[in-house]
Amino acid sequence: MLRLSELMRQTADTGSGGVLPHDPVLAGLTLDSRKAQPGYLFAAVAGSHADGASFVADAVKRGAVAILVARDVVLPALDPGIVVVRDANPRRRIALMAAAFAGLQPATIAAVTGTNGKSSTVHFARHIWASLGLNAASVGTLGIFSAGFSRDAGLTTPDPIQLHADLATLAREGVTHLAIEASSHGLDQHRLDGLRLAAAAFTNLTREHLDYHPSMQAYFEAKARLFGQLLPSDGTAVVNADSDRAAALAEICHRRGIRFWTYGTQGREFRLLRDEPTATGQHLEIEVLGTRYEIDLPLVGAFQASNALAALGLVVATGGDVTRAVSSLGTLSGAPGRLQLVARHRSGAPVYVDYAHKPEALETVLRTLRPFAKGRLVVVFGCGGDRDRGKRPLMGEIATRLADLTIVTDDNPRSEQPVAIRAEILRGIPPERKNWMEESAGRREAIAEGLAALRSAEDLLLIAGKGHETGQTIGAVKHPFDDAQVARELAGAAS
């Protein structure tokens, strides 16, 4: 517990007006009025669907003794005993308050942003740190993973109060090294403010979240905030040199005096010199800080080699032994739902599940799998509802251009009509490719059709879009559905 005055003193960089009429001891913080309890501070911030100021009375009724709100918000009449703190940026202030209230964080924290590869990169960084004998954890789309405390997936970047409470728990469990995904939403909404970062990585920027960000430039600026504001000047940036945004990030980092490392085929500190596919993955020749190494990476896909280099960069930037860290790449395992081999058809054909739900990601994974499909490459995919509609026809075109058979089905339709989503995907398919696709309303039925289309061990099935997810949201209801589990079940029944 902390007195409100102490919490405000520790988070004073955003500034707040007025002198406190009272100085309550706070029992907790919340962004959700329904979770308010006696002695809590309620942060009444504006959200995408509702304004927290509308729930102030409810929070007070439940016992809140302090309210954090924007300076210009008009509040209902409150009991004089309720302290109102007004701030120019209440989202940032509550994040800083959450960090101060929780107190503990792992000593070394690295954040990863970018459109694709965040989950794999934090997964790999945790593995490499662990191989060096360090107590490590990862936080992101897949959930929280550590030796002593784990939790299933929620938001890619949790709300700051939950996030800092989790980090304190990890620290108490002895975790010293943490890799965390930094989503554009989380960065834009200040959810990661208050993290004491040692390093940050940028993977790439491709079309995504344009239902939230007004433009690709705005999307990039949200990502760039990690380097322009959150990473301290004594930290290290690890940036994909093959990205067209590398130069812009270099300028930001150089202006702030941040050490700037690059990776990739054009990387300076972590360069991929050679990449040869093997039966079990790929053989890499890399140059790390001027020294050449050869390593067998047990993962399929050039993008996984790139993610592995990003993770390696973060580990070395935070003090990891270079030679031992490079050696650990030979024991990496793929992140769940990321180009994951989940089953084999009775013919011997492999079945992969991948989270690719964006045009560039779908194109990348199909191009990656193409050399492994000596026969037919079959893909099952759909697009989510209440998300960027512009990507739907793009993904239809990509799928039918790169696969031999495309089965268009439902993803998470949410509040939209599934048939309308599928129709938008189909609009992107050129007439001459219509014979190379099928439409299936049920995702389970679509997976069954995909399996039935496999004729020999040289064929391959990709089930794309949902990856690690274990539910399918239709309307307001989330139904149990796991692509990997369904594929194994149907492949087993077929055999």
Cα–Cα distance for residue pair 337/355, rounded to 1 Å:
6
The response to whether 166 counts as a known ligand-binding position is no
Query: Is there a binding annotation on residue 196?
Result: no
The answer to whether the annotation marks 387 as part of a ligand binding site is yes
Q: Is 116 annotated as a binding residue?
A: yes
Both structure tokens of 125: 């960084």
Nearest to 337 by CA among 469, 153, 471: 469
Angle among Cα 208, 140, 473 to the nearest 5 degrees reads 65
Q: Is 292 annotated as a binding residue?
A: no
* Ligand-binding site membership of 217 (annotated): no
**Location of structure tokens 């995907």:** 425
CA distance 163 to 220: 23
Q: 239: burial class by Cβ within 10 Å (0-12, 13-18, 19+)?
A: buried
The sheet with strand 460-464 has its strands ordered as 340-344, 350-354, 460-464, 377-381, 405-408, 437-439
In the beta sheet, which residues pair with residue 28?
A: 40
The verdict on whether residue 469 carries a ligand-binding annotation is: yes
Q: Judge contact between 428 and 393, C-beta under 8 A.
A: yes
384 annotated to a ligand binding site: no
Which tokens in the block code for residue 92? Answer: 């940032």
Which residues fall within 8 angstroms of residue 386, CB to CB, at 6 or more apart?
Answer: 211, 414, 415, 416
269 annotated to bind ligand: no
Q: 189 labelled as ligand-binding?
A: yes
Determine if residue 412 is labeled as part of a ligand binding site.
Answer: yes
Closest among 15, 14, 60, 13 to 33, alpha carbons compared: 60
Measured CA to CA, the distance from residue 222 to residue 159 in angstroms comes to: 16
Angle at 268 between CA 262 and CA 269, to 5 degrees: 75
10, two tokens: 């520790």
331 is known to lie in a ligand binding site: no
* CA–CA separation, 224 and 314 (whole Å): 17
183 in a known ligand binding site = yes
Any known ligand binding at 119?
yes
**Which DSSP letter does residue 46 get?**
B
157 labelled as ligand-binding?
yes
347 labeled binding residue: no
Q: Minimal CA–CA distance to 466: which of 344, 360, 358, 371?
A: 358
Rounded CA separation 97/89 (Å): 12
Q: At what angle do helices 118-131 and 302-317 cross, to 10 degrees?
A: 50
Q: Find out whether 11 is annotated in a ligand binding site.
A: no
Q: Is 465 annotated as a binding residue?
A: yes
Q: Do the annotations mark residue 184 as ligand-binding?
A: no
The 3-state DSSP composition of the chain as helix, strand, coil percent (nearest 5) reads 35, 25, 40
Q: Yes or no: say if 379 and 346 are a contact pair by the CB < 8 Å rule.
A: no
Which residues are part of a known binding site for ATP?
A: 114-120
Which residues are part of a known binding site for meso-2,6-diaminopimelate?
A: 387, 411-414, 465, 469
Which residues are part of a known binding site?
A: 31, 33, 114-120, 156-157, 183, 189, 191, 387, 411-414, 465, 469
